[in-house]
Structure 1
Amino acid sequence: MNKERLVLIGNGMAGIRTIEEILKRDPDRFEITVFGKEPHPSYNRIALSSVLQGDSSVEDIILNDYDWYENNGIKLYTGDPVVKVDKRRKKIHSKNGIVCEYDHLIFATGSNPFMLPLPGADKEGVIAFRDIKDCETMIETSKHYKKAAVIGGGLLGLEAARGLLNLNMETEVIHIFDHLMERQLDASASDMLRRDLEEQGMRFHMSKQTEMIKGKDRVEGLKFKDGSFLEADLVVMAVGIKPNIELASDTGLKTERAIVVNDYMETSAKDIYAVGECAEHNGIAYGLVAPLYEQGKVLADHLCSKETEGYHGSLMYTKLKVSGVDLFSAGQFQDEEGSRAIRVNDEFEGIYKKVVVKDNKVVGSVLYGDTSDSPRLLDMMKKGQDISDMNKAVILPSEDASASAGESPVVSMAADEQICDCNGVCKGEIVDAINNDGLNTVAQVTQHTNAGRSCGGCKPLVADLLTATLGEEVVQNHKEPMCGCTEYTHEEVVAEIRELGLSHPKEVMNVLGWESDEGCPRCRPAINYYLKMVAPINNTDDPTSRFVNERLHANINNNGTFTVVPRMYGGVTNPDQLRKIADAADKYNVPLLKVTGGQRIDMLGIEKEDLPNVWNDLGMKSGSAYAKALRTVKTCVGEDFCRFGTQDSIGLGQELEKKFEYINTPHKVKMAVSACPRNCAESGIKDFGVVGVEGAWELYVGGNGGVDLRGGDLFCKVNTKEELVDIISAFLQYYRENARYLERTSHFVERVGLDHMKEVVLEDPEGRKQLIERLEVALSTGRDPWKEVVDSEDKQQELYEKTHVEV
């Protein structure tokens, strides 16, 4: 039977959730094609703030990796938005020239950030906060500038401001209203939030209206309508979103504020549907994730010919954490005629609760600081429960009563009450999954039920439910597994590989009883690393288990092109290398060459099909800018040229880089060598930082110059270069053998302790010797990843095609 052709325009959360629901109902019915504007698989946009704040990486917020699309037979085109829809011929045209026919077409084009049309808004340094690229821009800007201004005191603006504080920027928030988050909080809760955020370092300018953005080419500050001025090197606009309906309008679909849909998410055109922020149902365009997922379920039912009551709108509610503060708001929480409110206001504990009652029903609520009552109150609102026979102590228990009860609110929740509002997962579903599927951790519950997969605000309740279902002792004794595919921890996987002599990722998954035959983006690269680390001679690398940047030997850019980074030892180059780079840049029309902080040259904007030939023409080793390995050794000019230099920093830096290049490590590793305490190579914020002093070298370890800024710890002072190299070798090997995959040295040192590392590396000469010997074995297998299995252009192209993933 021929499959029906289903095309999805938009690779965001709402559209992909619809596809997930379709696959649950009828996985063999459709031939599915997805077009996305961004050069990424689907990711959790709600979690962008955690990336900006340094709590998560981009990989951590990926919802469905490239393998998920491939395993489900989905054609994915990223970085290639649809630009035209021919609804008469049922064809779409993409920006890159792809023409695709459809039987059913879904618009899930989401929203665009609203940029205030201010004079100067086009200057460099004025951005929105909407996608991964915006996060990367803020992180990069923080390395060179220190004054940030956020226009907008709503949820998105405050999350951006918190992230900028974490990036060590002076952060000012400008808001046109007199209190923050006016759509989610009343004045009392807003005032408490403002006080808490001011204590964190934010500064607020309330009831302020920006008149223009000042500066020449780059932003220099904001001028307000009251005549005042605020200096700023970066301006982030977070004033709202507007549905992305340009394509729909050009297609001839009925649009108002968004694309108009009926109860079955059908647009005005036959076989064309819309879900998410771009859809308008009964005059409402929803911007929260829970209604969008509800729409996706209805559309999946409709497309799969399942019986459905249709979509009839959603109760607006929000449960989230803003800069460490728990918030919940739902329904009509402002005071109005005919309503009464129950309030608890504890300024000492930073807790505020308000429940609004009208016609003997709970119609709205605001909870600040303690949101444990939110599931019960939300359930009352959804059911329209009559509370005429309840007293206020039952509707909103006091803190003393809650504390004396000594139990989580999940214990008394009914089975049909929702734990995860975003994904519509109730208590009963989670309890059944825990009991029937043997779940022991929050990560496993998320993997099996989707609870906590979006904003993550319900994870404490999920944890409480695990404890209530299994018992505290069982939960406490269960270690957090590597991922949702297994019950094994990182350490246990390594132990099993050693004991059983396992040699391939799929063998590990099969022998250890992985739940997924293919694994996931968290476990597959980790297993591949552990195998090579345990047995570097016998176990070969599996390219298909590496991240896409590592498979393609270049960094993917936000427009789908790639960046090639040739290696320059210690940041030193010569005319011959520069000519090769210049010639390749001309030949392949490289749009940008940039000197990096690691003292190399980025060749940005190379098309993926040109990568093999670019490397051939360069004839230079890869700089491993994409790798979990030694990236760079930054050096100052040293004693040969600098009047302050006391040591040969360039010579030592090049020796270290040549010795440790291409050795796989749990995460990226950066080194630096400074010839004197002036520290021009920034040795104090590297994984391994060396500083020359009179007649000796100081070694600093565990530094991190990224978002999670950490100064390196002074590890030792040695007199000879040979001793220094030995100590770095032993430390590096112990890190390789004992760190968890994707654990930076900064986190590893904090976890195991600096004193422990000194005992292992400095105080045990025999142990140090054995660590160095094992490292030397691993080093003997390391070669340039681009050159190690290819000697000709044909073989390079063959490898490229073998490891290529559509991006």
Structure 2
Amino acid sequence: MRQRHPAATSSEHLVIVGNGMAGHRLVEALLARPERPARITVIGAETAPAYNRILLSPLLAGELQHDALALRCAEWYAEQGIELVLGEQVESIDRSARRLTTDAGRELDYDRLVLATGSTPARPPVPELELPGVQVFRDLHDADALARAAETGSNAVVIGGGLLGLEAAEGLRKRGQDKRGMQVSLLQRDDRLMNRQLDLTAARLLESELRGRGLDIHTDAQLERLEADAEGQVCAALLADGTRLAADCVVVAIGIVPQAELGRVAGLEVNRGIVVDQWLTTSDPAIHALGECCEFEGHTFGLVEPIWRQVEVLAAHLSGETVDGYVEQPTATKLKVSGVSLYAFGPTDPEPGHEVLSYRDPQQGDYRRLLLRDGRLEGAVLYGDTASGPWYFEQALAERDLSACRAALLLGAADAQALLDDASNESPQHPAKEAA
């Protein structure tokens, strides 16, 4: 379905709440359009202009400096005619007056409002989680605090065996080894690391690699409580099996929760996130939501690929273009975890009716596992060499029958594609050729 929104007038004021990656991407997309809203104001709760959160891990590890994360400097916004307000958080929205108020007392009127408030770290229901020394890993402030902890402390416990937890643990280990050395323990309540992306074999390969670097990894770990020392500072993590891990700092990295409270207080429809339609419009026609704070057809978001698609839809919509609405699409996960490349899509584990093809090269550290149903690829996990990942994903999206190249599928895209091409070129000989 396509919809056209009336083109912006010279007086229309668009306010974007959130100067994270999604909000900034929207600004860039709007500036590329001739009919963009004439007046744009961006409000960011952090004091720094938009930066690349994906690079927080190498920043923590000491491999990058702060300026390497910056997407644009504050002067760039002024040069584009955009008002940038930093270090202020929007506290309330008066929808009838179309006016918002920040915690600094600033009031701004808007014609259209975009909420790109992102997410907050999820927190497990664990006693003593509010102790001093317990931190999250979400922004520049967190990365700086953890870097200081790595340079002064001896023991850290990271809660969460997903991508964020792994990168926090590796960052602490790398930062700590350059100083006095830090022992980092990582807790994963599931039976494997990155259980949402990897099968058991790939997860075990990753675990072995990280253990070899010095990480202390605990899977099937149930955190019972944290303990404090005589001064009230966190000093240990106690597991349900009785294991006690010393901890000068504890990092909570178990996932994210949509930061939807502003929408809830404003009376917008909110479930887990701020509910939007296919044009990223909330229950108020003048207000839109984007990225990790929004919810579409029951889905919330944490990967950049679907959020970038949302940005394009919303930018076109706000610029008065005729645009197809946002639709959910299958997504492949391409990650680089602590120097190890991973690529995955589809089911993590085989389901009834799946044919499983697998390949492993211990010397090269490569592993591939494909899931097929009736000759069609439905899922893949690649560890190490991920070059063929996009080709596998393309075949899965096309629901292509790969029976003709089944024998070469695990060899990679080039060999498999060659067999497919040969099969498609085979046809009965032309009558004239037969006569000759």
After TM superposition, the score normalised by the length of structure 2 is 0.89
Q: Name the counterpart of 2:425.
A: none
Distance in 2, matches of 1:355 and 1:157, equals 27
Aligned pair partner of 2:191 in 178, 195, 202: 178
Q: Name the counterpart of 1:543.
A: none
Rate the CA distance shift 1:93–1:380 in 2: closer, same or farther, 3 A.
same
Q: Deviations over 1:461-515 (max 9, x none)?
A: xxxxxxxxxxxxxxxxxxxxxxxxxxxxxxxxxxxxxxxxxxxxxxxxxxxxxxx
Q: Name the counterpart of 1:48.
A: 56
Distance in 2, matches of 1:350 and 1:122, equals 40
Distance in 2, matches of 1:291 and 1:334, equals 23
Rate the CA distance shift 1:398–1:77 in 2: closer, same or farther, 3 A.
closer
**SS of corresponding position for 1:390:** helix
Is this contact kept in 2: 1:333–1:363, CA < 8 A?
no
Shift of 1:305: 1.5
Residue identity matched to 1:175: Q
Distance in 2, matches of 1:63 and 1:248, equals 27
Shift of 1:224: 1.3
Q: Deviations over 1:323-354 (max 9, x none)?
A: 11111111224200122222111122211111
Aligned pair partner of 2:216 in 193, 203, 208: 203
Distance in 2, matches of 1:80 and 1:24, equals 27
Relative contact order: is structure 1 or structure 2 higher (C-alpha 8 Å, sep ≥ 6)?
2
Residue identity matched to 1:89: A
- Aligned pairs (5 A) from 1:220-299: 220-299=235-314
Distance in 2, matches of 1:293 and 1:260, equals 18
Shift of 1:48: 0.6
- Aligned pairs (5 A) from 1:502-513: none
Residue identity matched to 1:177: D
Shift of 1:135: 0.7
Q: Name the counterpart of 1:111.
A: 119
Shift of 1:234: 0.8
- Asked if 1:69 is matched to 2:77, the reply is yes
Rate the CA distance shift 1:191–1:98 in 2: closer, same or farther, 3 A.
same
Q: Name the counterpart of 2:13.
A: 5
Aligned pair partner of 2:405 in 391, 401, 409: 391
Q: Name the counterpart of 1:319.
A: 334
Distance in 2, matches of 1:399 and 1:86, equals 55
**SS of corresponding position for 2:324:** coil
Distance in 1, matches of 2:36 and 2:217, equals 54
**Count of residue pairs brought into register by the alignment:** 402
Shift of 1:318: 1.3
Shift of 1:248: 0.4
Shift of 1:212: 0.9
Aligned pair partner of 2:168 in 140, 152, 160: 160
Distance in 2, matches of 1:254 and 1:365, equals 37
Is this contact kept in 1: 2:372–2:379, CA < 8 A?
yes
- Asked if 1:96 is matched to 2:104, the reply is yes
Distance in 1, matches of 2:279 and 2:138, equals 28
**SS of corresponding position for 2:210:** helix
Q: Name the counterpart of 1:190.
A: 203
Residue identity matched to 1:323: S
Rate the CA distance shift 1:388–1:142 in 2: closer, same or farther, 3 A.
closer
Is this contact kept in 2: 1:150–1:236, CA < 8 A?
yes
Rate the CA distance shift 1:396–1:305 in 2: closer, same or farther, 3 A.
farther
Q: Name the counterpart of 1:343.
A: 358
Q: Deviations over 1:359-392 (max 9, x none)?
A: 443222111001100121222233x232245322
Q: Name the counterpart of 2:45.
A: 37
- Asked if 1:364 is matched to 2:372, the reply is no
Q: Deviations over 1:35-69 (max 9, x none)?
A: 11111100111111010111211110111211221
Q: Name the counterpart of 1:14.
A: 22
Rate the CA distance shift 1:115–1:344 in 2: closer, same or farther, 3 A.
same
**SS of corresponding position for 2:32:** helix
Aligned pair partner of 2:321 in 299, 306, 312: 306
Is this contact kept in 2: 1:257–1:280, CA < 8 A?
yes
Identity of aligned pairs, percent? 38
**SS of corresponding position for 1:123:** coil
Answer 1 or 2: which has greater helix percent: 1
Q: Deviations over 1:242-288 (max 9, x none)?
A: 00011100001101111111111111112110110111111100110
Residue identity matched to 1:223: L
Is this contact kept in 2: 1:51–1:57, CA < 8 A?
yes
Give 1 or 2 for the bigger CA radius of gyration: 1
Residue identity matched to 1:283: G
- Aligned pairs (5 A) from 1:759-770: none
Is this contact kept in 2: 1:219–1:233, CA < 8 A?
yes
Q: Which runs of 5+ in 2 are unaligned?
A: 1-8, 177-181, 419-436
Shift of 1:28: 5.3
**SS of corresponding position for 1:284:** coil
Distance in 2, matches of 1:159 and 1:54, equals 13
Q: Deviations over 1:536-572 (max 9, x none)?
A: xxxxxxxxxxxxxxxxxxxxxxxxxxxxxxxxxxxxx
Distance in 2, matches of 1:83 and 1:395, equals 54
Rate the CA distance shift 1:399–1:73 in 2: closer, same or farther, 3 A.
closer
Distance in 2, matches of 1:285 and 1:208, equals 27
Rate the CA distance shift 1:270–1:111 in 2: closer, same or farther, 3 A.
same
- Asked if 1:354 is matched to 2:369, the reply is yes
Is this contact kept in 1: 2:99–2:108, CA < 8 A?
yes
Distance in 1, matches of 2:103 and 2:408, equals 58
Q: Deviations over 1:160-208 (max 9, x none)?
A: 0111111222111111111100011010100000001111111111111
Is this contact kept in 1: 2:90–2:102, CA < 8 A?
yes
Q: Which runs of 5+ in 1 are unaligned?
A: 406-807
Rate the CA distance shift 1:220–1:307 in 2: closer, same or farther, 3 A.
same
Distance in 2, matches of 1:362 and 1:15, equals 36
After TM superposition, the score normalised by the length of structure 1 is 0.49
**SS of corresponding position for 1:208:** coil
Shift of 1:114: 0.9
Shift of 1:394: 4.5
**SS of corresponding position for 2:78:** helix
Distance in 1, matches of 2:286 and 2:36, equals 19
Q: Name the counterpart of 1:380.
A: 395
Q: Deviations over 1:717-753 (max 9, x none)?
A: xxxxxxxxxxxxxxxxxxxxxxxxxxxxxxxxxxxxx
Residue identity matched to 1:240: G
Is this contact kept in 2: 1:342–1:392, CA < 8 A?
no
**SS of corresponding position for 2:404:** coil
Distance in 2, matches of 1:301 and 1:276, equals 16
Question: What RMSD over aligned residues (CA atoms) do the two structures have, in Å?
Answer: 1.8
Shift of 1:14: 1.0
- Aligned pairs (5 A) from 1:475-494: none
- Aligned pairs (5 A) from 1:613-762: none
**SS of corresponding position for 1:73:** coil
Distance in 2, matches of 1:236 and 1:230, equals 13
**SS of corresponding position for 1:391:** helix
Distance in 2, matches of 1:359 and 1:43, equals 45
Q: Name the counterpart of 2:424.
A: none
Distance in 1, matches of 2:252 and 2:324, equals 40
Answer 1 or 2: which has greater strand percent: 2
Residue identity matched to 1:76: L
Rate the CA distance shift 1:30–1:378 in 2: closer, same or farther, 3 A.
farther
- Aligned pairs (5 A) from 1:514-525: none
**SS of corresponding position for 1:143:** helix
